[in-house]
Structure 1
Amino acid sequence: MISILIINLILLIATECRNVFDVDDKYLLSNLIKQDQERFTLYRLTLSDVPSVTNAEDFKVDLIGSEFLMIRVDNTTIQWRIRLDNRVPNHLVFYPEFAVSLLSSHKRLSTWEVFVRVPKFFDLNPTTLKIDEL
């Protein structure tokens, strides 16, 4: 009898955990919007419940490996990972281009929007510049 109760309890906990961490949550899906452009892919991420003391310099966007972006906010536990559609070549040093915008701010919490632009194609041929062009 006790073992049946324990099994039912474990199944109930597993079901609730799945509901809490389900990626198909409509709220989580609305936070990340991907826009395909001709030469770039633009990722727009809305982060809410960010501490109000946060400023634009606290946001960091890094490339992890060759196919993931990680968006972090310094001095917080906020992290988002985005899987890229196209991998960045392994031998290429790439710093993602990003911008942040403050949407709203309240007493202790604020909402920010992060824009990350990633090229669809990488020109791997070196370009030589003349002194006049510098």
Structure 2
Amino acid sequence: MFRTLLAVVLGTLAAGLAVAGVQALGHWLYPPPVEVDWRDRAAVTALIDSLPVAQLAFVPAAYAVGSFVGGFVGGTVSALHKRGAALAVGLVMLALVVVNFAMIPHPMWMVAAGVLVPLPLAWLGGRFAL
């Protein structure tokens, strides 16, 4: 049981690092404007509406990569509950995605992709860990 909990924690940390890495790549390719007040919801909404689709696609891509990596790590670390640990990481990622989309307005296609991606890719990562 302890090892499964450890697997979920380590998988979630690995997922977070993978998300940060993909988003850092996106910010390197498409630097965010400095003059935006990130606390102003209207300004953030206007910014997101003005961004190209390629730049916006890094967000669900980061969630996809993070979910896969997290599921893989969770499945690798867990001894008995590989798929369960991977899916638990996917559930944590799904919860974090929902919180992000609730706090920051996004186009509907990003919300759909972000919500549909974490569980299947975490499961797939767990399958690769077997």
Q: Which has the larger radius of gyration?
A: 1
Higher helix share: 2
| TM-score normalised per structure 2 | 0.27
From the two aligned structures, give the one with the greater strand fraction.
1
